[in-house]
Structure 1
């Protein structure tokens, strides 16, 4: 984000919580925020607000029916580059462990070179 902040806009869409304390991960000792599965938009908003201090970009939240997560096949995490109304890049693996940041950066560099 810091490298391309002048040329591109970045945002995070907070979707269904992948590691809800009251879900499949409930018994694992994870060093993270403690969030239950979202039962309302207020729950999701409270959880999304926990990220405002650690993510340097705007944070939006998905609808409670997880429409964005479904459309973009983004559960639990996905990196996507959109230009206009077209998807130009989507991470081939779910993240964050499966992300190939170098691949995404190369794609973004190519897009910016073509549109500068």
Structure 2
């Protein structure tokens, strides 16, 4: 959540070379689990897809995004496939993962993604 504003700025800047999607996964710090004092939102673990949708709406109300936000299913398949909890960045090009960021929040490095996108944008414009 702390980096959503930076993510929004980056996604706006590179929207012509990449499609950005946020996948809202399981609550990282639920009140009925590993709770962190002082969290912006105090939410229990999602029991239903409606709970997850409601939590995503709260996040978007606080930090609107300029890209689609989709929900992981209740089996947490996206989270499992991409080892996403609590947050992680990926770049997928033609169905292949070309960048896998470290697990957030400490190894979540938007600068690495931005650097990759900048290089990709320059290479793409040189081909034209």
What's the TM-score bracket when you normalise by the shorter of the two chains?
0.7 to 0.9
1:26-41 matches, cutoff 5 A: 28-41=36-49
5+ unaligned residues in a row in structure 2: which ranges?
1-10
1:62-81 matches, cutoff 5 A: 62-81=72-91
Residues 79, 99 of structure 1: 8 Å contact kept:
yes
Secondary structure of the residue aligned to 2:50 is helix
Distance in 2, Cα, partners of 1:12 & 1:2: 14
Hey, what does 1:86 align to over in structure 2? 96
Relative to total residues, which structure has the larger helix share, 1 or 2?
2
Distance in 1, Cα, partners of 2:96 & 2:121: 15
Distance in 2, Cα, partners of 1:95 & 1:36: 20
- Count residues with an aligned counterpart: 113
Tell me if 1:17 matches 2:36: no
Q: Which has the higher contact order (CA 8 A, sep 6+)?
A: 2
5+ unaligned residues in a row in structure 1: which ranges?
none
Give RMSD over aligned pairs.
Answer: 1.6
Hey, what does 2:4 align to over in structure 1? none
TM-score by length of 2: 0.79
Distance in 2, Cα, partners of 1:30 & 1:97: 18
Residues 87, 108 of structure 2: 8 Å contact kept:
no
Residues 81, 108 of structure 1: 8 Å contact kept:
no
* Residues 12-57 of structure 1, C-alpha deviations (whole Å, 9 max, x = no match): 10001001111121xx422311211011111111111112221312
Deviation at 1:64, TM superposition (A): 0.4
Tell me if 1:108 matches 2:117: yes
